[in-house]
Chain A
Amino acid sequence: DSGVTQTPKHLITATGQRVTLRCSPRSGDLSVYWYQQSLDQGLQFLIQYYNGEERAKGNILERFSAQQFPDLHSELNLSSLELGDSALYFCASSVGVSGYNEQFFGPGTRLTVL
């Protein structure tokens, strides 16, 4: 158990819908990272927040957005869902903002878009 929690564990929805994925970091960690993992694209970095502020952006689509709240939990919002958005979404947390801090991954949310 990494100490990072993600809800829900599974999510099934239809194309065109909007969903919100939630992540609670380990106690004391200020950085939250979001990743998408699909069979054809592998693991892709989406976005990083540190203490409420956006710090780094990867291959995140404009239909996707995220935020980190004052209690440090984070939410990833996915809208206008397409079949290709079906994937495993991981959240990770680390103590600092720098890349060298060890990241601890949550168990993931499996999103299925029908």
Chain B
Amino acid sequence: GQNIDQPTEMTATEGAIVQINCTYQTSGFNGLFWYQQHAGEAPTFLSYNVLDGLEEKGRFSSFLSRSKGYSYLLLKELQMKDSASYLCAVRDNYGQNFVFGPGTRLSVLP
């Protein structure tokens, strides 16, 4: 079956670092995506991983281990505007279906 797990909620302090984990079990694998979604708005693309390792993009980094079915999103130097939901998604079945996790709601406190 298809399953993606993420923590439901996380809280962190402005200026800190936070790691949001994602574990997945899907039929086939053709890439893992992270999206940010502010309340009431559309998702915005953050990162894409298809090979094992770390992809860095400014304050955001994403890591993938295909053998472990595991990814994380690392957010550094947290800002208040980073308070949002973070969605992990996997494209499976050799590039067909996108499966989304339930999302992690991150609250950044002053």
**Which A residues lie at the B interface, using CB under 8 A?**
2, 33, 42-45, 56-59, 90, 98-100, 102-108
Classify chain B's interface size. 20 to 34
Smallest CB-CB separation from B43: which chain A residue?
Answer: A105
Complex formed: what's the CA distance from A44 to B42 in Å? 13
Give the chain A neighbours of B48 by CB distance below 8 A: 100, 102
Q: Which of B29-64 contact A (CB under 8 A)?
A: 30-31, 33, 41-45, 48, 50
Most chain A CB inside 10 Å of its own CB: which residue of B33, B96, B98: B98
Known: A42-B103, A100-B50. A57 touches B45 (CB 8 A): no
B99 at the interface (CB under 8 A from A): yes
Cβ contact of A56, chosen from B42, B96, B101, cutoff 8 A: B96
How near does chain B come to A41, taking the closest CB pair, in angstroms?
9
Known: A42-B102, A45-B98, A56-B96. A106 touches B45 (CB 8 A): no
By the criterion CB–CB under 8 Å, are A57 and B42 in contact? no
Known: A42-B100, A42-B102, A43-B87. A98 touches B95 (CB 8 A): yes
**Which B residues lie at the A interface, using CB under 8 A?**
30-31, 33, 41-45, 48, 50, 87, 89, 91, 95-103
How near does chain B come to A102, taking the closest CB pair, in angstroms?
5
Smallest CB-CB separation from A43: which chain B residue?
Answer: B100
Most chain A CB inside 10 Å of its own CB: which residue of B41, B43, B48: B43
Cβ contact of B98, chosen from A2, A58, A105, cutoff 8 A: A58
Known: A42-B100, A42-B103. A100 touches B31 (CB 8 A): yes
By the criterion CB–CB under 8 Å, are A103 and B45 in contact? yes
Give the chain A neighbours of B100 by CB distance below 8 A: 42-45
